């Protein structure tokens, strides 16, 4: 079973350019062109458990591109691998978009920490990076198509 332990939010800072005279540039996109450039996620992305629970990581409607990291504590049951299933959910149910098998060290049950980083591009391709906190072992997966 996967539990949420820590959330890391990434801030995006927008900086507007200036001309040499210190005046604001007048080549900013119009509201109409900005609306056309907006790409959003149609379905939330989250982690699905064996019990059928869905823990959202990225909400539907999220503007893309987007990056999110979260650290989870996993039940290990003495195994040498952990399974992370990333899914999307809508009214018809939960669809698995990526099943990731991660090599893990031998640690006490509920002591293993895995950081999952999702990077979703504007063209709705998701790359996933997993890092086992105890060993700094990192794996990268993808790209996976998302809606």
Q: What is the pLDDT of residues 66-79, one digit of tens each?
A: 999 999 887 767 77
Tell me the domains of the chain and their CATH numbers: 2-11+41-145 (2.60.34.10)
pLDDT digits over 64-110, tens only?
Answer: 999 999 998 877 677 788 888 899 988 888 899 999 998 888 888 78
CA distances to 65, 90, 120, 133 from 125, rounded to whole Å, are 9, 19, 6, 26
Element containing residue 101 per DSSP (H, E): strand 93-103
């Amino acid at each position: 079973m996967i539990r949420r332990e820590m959330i890391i939010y990434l801030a995006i800072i927008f900086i507007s350019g200036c001309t040499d005279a210190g005046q604001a540039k007048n080549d900013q996109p119009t509201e109409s062109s900005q609306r056309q450039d907006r790409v959003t996620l149609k379905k939330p992305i989250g982690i699905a458990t064996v019990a059928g629970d869905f823990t959202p990581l990225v909400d539907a409607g999220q503007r893309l591109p987007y990056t999110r990291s979260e650290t989870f504590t996993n039940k290990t049951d003495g195994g040498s691998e952990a399974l992370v299933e990333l899914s999307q959910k809508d009214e018809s149910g939960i669809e698995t978009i990526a099943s990731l098998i991660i090599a893990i060290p031998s640690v006490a049950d509920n002591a293993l920490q895995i950081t999952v980083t999702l990077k979703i591009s504007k063209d709705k391709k998701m790359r996933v990076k997993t890092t086992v906190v105890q060993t700094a072992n990192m794996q990268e997966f993808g790209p996976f198509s998302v809606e």
